[in-house]
């Protein structure tokens, strides 16, 4: 405190006395120096202008010449669009000629060909031909006399110009064969005579325009003025600041020519690889929270031999410590600590098991209303579904009535394309296996699922079970109270009877990305379900809507490395050639020769559910499409349709009320990757949600 008081009572005028007298005065000026040193010292008091001290030299007039780098390549000024086109063409030429031709020759050929890949390749090959002819005509130069004359004769043969010409001729033939095998019809080489009147050296490649126009760098067209021949080398990425505008329909990248390879018949490849294997089906388990979904499927996995006894014993001991012994089987699928402590599934739990005729990919969806987006993600990847309901009195009514998730889950899976469902009446042992209670639940759900949701009666199967005790899971019930009135199949038999949908393996490759994570080695990994087409290890793909090209370096299917994967498979791909930060959930991997369409406005047919407020122009909602969730607004209501027949009921209505159907125009806040429903049903469906509840399901009929 004493120090603070001394500072507070300090007289600053006394402290700064004499300070301004030496301000701007160098300390060195108080000391003398030698005359020779003084002539190189700058004195501010004598020469206040610093420029007077510096010696000026007359500017040397620079010639107007082109800048060259150390390798001799001419660096023309390029804008970002031309730079992207140049890099794209370089990649294509490298895939054909390899490292046999220098980069400077490739760049020169690309620019002379105005970014036309076929013309540039022809120029490169013609250049290699003329170079080989020139080498064959050049007289041998005097060679340095070797000290060791007893060396191998191969060294002398290497210095022979004739052997050089032969080697270059072999390289030329290899390049020509590679070009023809890659499908470049205009890349045939010309036969050059032994002696020509005009030779081409270095960059002096003869061209039709060289006789009439001087060899000066000509301005190249913008993207909009590129000729059709050169449009195949358009830029694959957009480095402009307005990256959000990449997804508009007019800016969707045109199909680019990837590394051309032998076409593979997808259907034949699928039959060859999967013909002798079991059919694969994706199964999602849905239902109200605390209906027993995770316990039911966890016990099924344990009884089916997918979980060993040692791990099960560990779960029993840990669940006892937390006082949650009844959740022991749920821990098989609920792996995170938060899910186990709260006793609620929060994310999609994935596992797999086999039946007699099927290979099943199990997706355990969360039942809590706060995690409906995760449930939609799981349902979008499913082929069939199991709806689990609690048979306990009061619990079933709570989950089925307004506010419960049984209704919403059933509507969601049907709207996402699931047409087959098994309804498990769980916890029926709490009602002493009462047939009356089972028939009551079955009647209520059948009426709702058939009349309101749209399931066919033949595609529904009801069965009683107990997830905790394991009754009627993998074998017919032995309890007399249940066996006396139920003679149907067990749960495992119902799953084995599901029909697998047809896999569209012949369509272009499409894979929505549901997860992105860092891999152990180089690159990173993305997970998702292949909706259409197929992919092989080493193929090139495109990430949309970013428009970035990637290389598939690894492919994992059910934790096993595979060479290829087909539509319907849940795969993990290892990618390279792109920054991990650019790939997000909701992006789509697609065929670079046939990319998916990107847009911010679609015309769709929507079906409204039991909503409280009518839908009008300007109605805002969340647009759920696969793993993507974006803000959207209804810009226009075109007409109201009959819910069953699809006929137009009213043109340009002012609003759409509950349980009605209509044609609307929807604008999305950011670009999304979509397909028409008629082309790819999996990528043509979407959901609209408001305030934590689903208000409508839709099908895309037109991309605007």
Q: 375 falls in which pLDDT band (50, 70, 90)?
A: confident
Ramachandran angles phi, psi of 466, nearest 5°: -140, 110
For every residue of 641-675, DSSP letters joined together read E-TTT--EEEES-SEE-TT-EEEEEEEEEEEEEE-
Q: 46 falls in which pLDDT band (50, 70, 90)?
A: low
Higher-pLDDT residue of 666 and 158 is 666
DSSP E strand boundaries for 545-684: 548-557, 560-561, 564-566, 570-576, 588-590, 597-608, 615-616, 620-625, 628-641, 648-651, 655-656, 661-674
- State the Cα–Cα distance between residues 370 and 375, nearest whole angstrom: 10
Domain of 514, CATH number, reads 2.40.30.10
- State the Cα–Cα distance between residues 331 and 319, nearest whole angstrom: 9
Residues 293 and 415 in one domain: yes
Pairing of the two strands 460-464 and 421-426: parallel
Whether 548 and 578 have beta carbons less than 8 Å apart is answered as yes
Residues 345 and 487 in one domain: yes
- State the Cα–Cα distance between residues 174 and 166, nearest whole angstrom: 12
Pairing of the two strands 685-690 and 620-625: antiparallel
Residue 571: predicted pLDDT:
87
215: its two tokens:
């060899």
Among 47-51, 82-86, 542-546, 646-650, the least confident range: 47-51
Q: 16 falls in which pLDDT band (50, 70, 90)?
A: low
Residues 315 and 390 in one domain: yes
DSSP state of 453: I
Q: Which residues pair with 639 in a beta bridge?
A: 651, 663
123: its two tokens:
């120029």
- Per the domain annotation, does 692 fall within a domain? yes
Residues 309 and 351 in one domain: yes
Report the residue count for the chain.
704
- Per the domain annotation, does 456 fall within a domain? yes
- State the Cα–Cα distance between residues 477 and 473, nearest whole angstrom: 8
Residues 481 and 390 in one domain: yes
Q: 244 falls in which pLDDT band (50, 70, 90)?
A: very low
Residue 633: predicted pLDDT:
92
Q: Sign of dihedral through CA atoms 447, 358, 589, 675?
A: negative
Instruction: Let me know the angle formed at the C-alpha of 282 by 281 and 284, rounded to the nearest 5 degrees.
Output: 140
> Domain ends where: 590, 611, 640?
590
Element housing 441 (H / E): helix 435-447
> Domain ends where: 196, 211, 226?
211
Residue 538: predicted pLDDT:
84
DSSP state of 433: S
- Per the domain annotation, does 471 fall within a domain? yes
- State the Cα–Cα distance between residues 666 and 635, nearest whole angstrom: 6
SS3 286: strand
612: its two tokens:
């409280």
Higher-pLDDT residue of 428 and 332 is 428
Q: Is 70 exceeded by the pLDDT of residue 172?
A: no
Exposed (0-12), middle (13-18) or buried (19+): which is 544, by Cβ within 10 Å? buried
Residue 347: predicted pLDDT:
62
- Over residues 260-317, the pLDDT tens digits come to 444 567 777 777 777 777 888 888 888 887 788 888 888 888 888 888 888 888 877 8
Q: How many CB atoms lie within 10 A of CB 211?
A: 7
- Per the domain annotation, does 30 fall within a domain? no
Integer angstrom CA distances of residue 607 from 616, 623, 640? 14, 14, 10
> Domain ends where: 566, 590, 614?
590
Residues 579 and 603 in one domain: no
Residue 628: predicted pLDDT:
85
- Per the domain annotation, does 480 fall within a domain? yes
Q: Is 60 exceeded by the pLDDT of residue 210?
A: no
Element housing 147 (H / E): none
- Of all residues in the chain, what percent carry a pLDDT higher than 90? 1
Residue-averaged pLDDT of the chain:
73
Whether 463 and 488 have beta carbons less than 8 Å apart is answered as yes
Number of domains in the chain: 4
- Per the domain annotation, does 250 fall within a domain? no
Q: How many CB atoms lie within 10 A of CB 231?
A: 15
Its pTM stands at 0.58
Among 396-410, 448-462, 563-577, the least confident range: 396-410
Closest CA to 464 of 445, 486, 449, 443: 486
CB within 8 Å of 687: residues ≥ 6 apart: 376, 412, 415, 416, 623, 624, 625, 694, 696, 697, 698
Higher-pLDDT residue of 431 and 50 is 431
Residues 536 and 648 in one domain: no
**What's the distance, CA 345 to chain centroid?**
26
Residues 571 and 456 in one domain: no
Whether 288 and 423 have beta carbons less than 8 Å apart is answered as no
Domain of 421, CATH number, reads 3.40.50.300
Q: 51 falls in which pLDDT band (50, 70, 90)?
A: low
- Per the domain annotation, does 238 fall within a domain? no
Domain that holds residue 528: 510-590
- Over residues 74-129, the pLDDT tens digits come to 555 677 777 777 887 887 777 777 777 777 888 888 888 888 878 888 887 777 65
- Over residues 493-531, the pLDDT tens digits come to 888 888 888 888 888 888 888 888 887 766 788 888 888
Integer angstrom CA distances of residue 406 from 96, 284, 383? 58, 14, 19
- Over residues 608-618, the pLDDT tens digits come to 887 888 888 88
Q: 665 falls in which pLDDT band (50, 70, 90)?
A: very high
How far apart are the two ends of the chain, measured CA to CA in Å?
75
Q: Sign of dihedral through CA atoms 35, 36, 37, 39?
A: positive
Most confident stretch, 150-164, 267-281, 410-424: 410-424
- Of all residues in the chain, what percent carry a pLDDT higher than 70? 66
Residues 577 and 608 in one domain: no
Q: Is 50 exceeded by the pLDDT of residue 157?
A: no
116-146 CB burial, b ≥16 within 10 A, e <16: bbbbbbbbbbbbbbbbbbbbbeeeeeeeeee
Residues 289 and 433 in one domain: yes
Residue 366: predicted pLDDT:
76
Residues 414 and 552 in one domain: no
- State the Cα–Cα distance between residues 286 and 380, nearest whole angstrom: 12
- Per the domain annotation, does 38 fall within a domain? no
Q: 208 falls in which pLDDT band (50, 70, 90)?
A: very low
Residues 280 and 416 in one domain: yes
Whether 663 and 603 have beta carbons less than 8 Å apart is answered as yes
């Amino acid at each position: 405190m004493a120090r603070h008081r001394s500072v507070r009572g300090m007289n600053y005028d006394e402290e700064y006395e004499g300070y301004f007298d030496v301000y701007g005065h160098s300390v060195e000026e108080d000391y003398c120096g030698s005359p020779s040193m003084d002539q190189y010292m700058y004195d501010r008091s004598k020469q206040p202008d610093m420029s007077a001290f510096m010696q000026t030299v007359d500017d040397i007039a620079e010639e107007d010449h082109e800048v060259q780098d150390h390798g001799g390549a001419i660096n023309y000024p390029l804008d970002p669009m031309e730079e992207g086109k140049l890099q794209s063409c370089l990649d294509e030429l490298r895939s054909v000629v390899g490292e046999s031709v220098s980069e400077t020759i490739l760049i020169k050929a690309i620019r002379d060909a105005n970014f036309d890949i076929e013309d540039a390749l022809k120029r490169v090959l013609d250049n290699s031909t003329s170079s080989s002819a020139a080498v064959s005509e050049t007289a041998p130069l005097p060679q340095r006399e070797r000290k060791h004359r007893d060396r191998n004769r191969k060294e002398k043969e290497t210095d022979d110009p004739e052997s050089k010409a032969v080697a270059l001729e072999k390289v030329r033939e290899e390049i020509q064969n590679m070009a023809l095998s890659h499908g470049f019809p205009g890349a045939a080489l010309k036969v050059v005579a032994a002696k020509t009147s005009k030779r081409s050296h270095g960059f002096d490649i003869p061209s039709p325009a060289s006789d009439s126009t001087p060899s000066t760098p000509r301005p190249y067209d913008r993207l909009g003025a590129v000729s059709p021949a050169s449009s195949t080398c358009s830029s694959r990425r957009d480095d402009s600041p307005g990256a959000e505008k990449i997804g508009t329909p007019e800016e969707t990248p045109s199909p680019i020519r990837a590394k051309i390879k032998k076409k593979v018949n997808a259907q034949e490849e699928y039959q060859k690889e999967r013909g002798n294997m079991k059919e694969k089906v994706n199964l999602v388990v849905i239902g109200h929270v605390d209906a027993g979904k995770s316990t039911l499927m966890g016990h099924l996995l344990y009884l089916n031999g997918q979980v060993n006894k040692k791990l099960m014993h560990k779960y029993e001991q840990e669940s006892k410590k937390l006082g949650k012994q009844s959740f022991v089987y749920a821990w098989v699928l609920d792996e995170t600590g938060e899910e186990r402590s709260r006793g609620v599934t929060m994310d999609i739990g994935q596992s797999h098991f086999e039946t007699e005729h099927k290979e099943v990919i199990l997706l355990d969806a969360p039942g809590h209303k706060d995690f409906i987006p995760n449930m939609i993600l799981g349902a979008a990847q499913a082929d069939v579904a199991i709806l689990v309901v609690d048979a306990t009195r009061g619990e079933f009514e709570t989950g089925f009535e307004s506010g419960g998730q049984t209704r919403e889950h059933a509507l969601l899976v049907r709207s996402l394309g699931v047409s087959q469902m098994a309804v498990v009446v769980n916890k029926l042992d709490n009602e002493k296996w009462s047939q009356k209670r089972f028939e009551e639940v079955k009647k209520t759900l059948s009426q709702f699922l058939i009349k309101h949701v749209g399931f066919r009666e033949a595609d529904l199967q009801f069965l009683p079970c107990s997830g905790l005790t394991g009754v009627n899971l993998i074998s017919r019930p032995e309890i007399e109270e249940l066996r006396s009135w139920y003679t149907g199949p067990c749960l495992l038999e119902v799953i084995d009877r599901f029909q697998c949908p047809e896999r569209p393996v012949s369509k272009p490759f499409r894979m929505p990305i549901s997860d992105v994570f860092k891999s152990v080695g180089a690159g990173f990994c993305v997970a998702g379900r292949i909706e259409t087409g197929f992919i092989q290890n080493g193929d090139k793909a495109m990430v949309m809507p970013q428009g970035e090209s990637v290389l598939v370096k690894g492919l994992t299917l059910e934790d096993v490395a595979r060479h290829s994967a087909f539509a319907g498979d849940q795969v993990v791909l290892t990618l390279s050639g792109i920054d991990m930060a650019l790939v997000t959930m909701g992006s789509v991997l697609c065929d670079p020769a046939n990319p998916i369409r990107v847009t911010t406005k679609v015309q769709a047919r929507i079906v409204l559910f039991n909503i409280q407020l009518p839908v009008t122009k300007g109605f805002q909602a969340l647009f759920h499409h696969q793993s993507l969730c974006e803000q959207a607004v209804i810009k226009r209501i075109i007409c109201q349709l009959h819910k069953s027949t699809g006929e137009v009921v009213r043109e340009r209505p002012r609003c759409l009320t509950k349980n009605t159907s209509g044609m609307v125009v929807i604008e999305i806040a950011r670009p999304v990757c979509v397909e028409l429903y008629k082309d790819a049903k999996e990528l043509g469906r979407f959901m609209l949600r408001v305030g934590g509840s689903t208000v409508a399901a839709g099908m895309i009929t037109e991309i605007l």
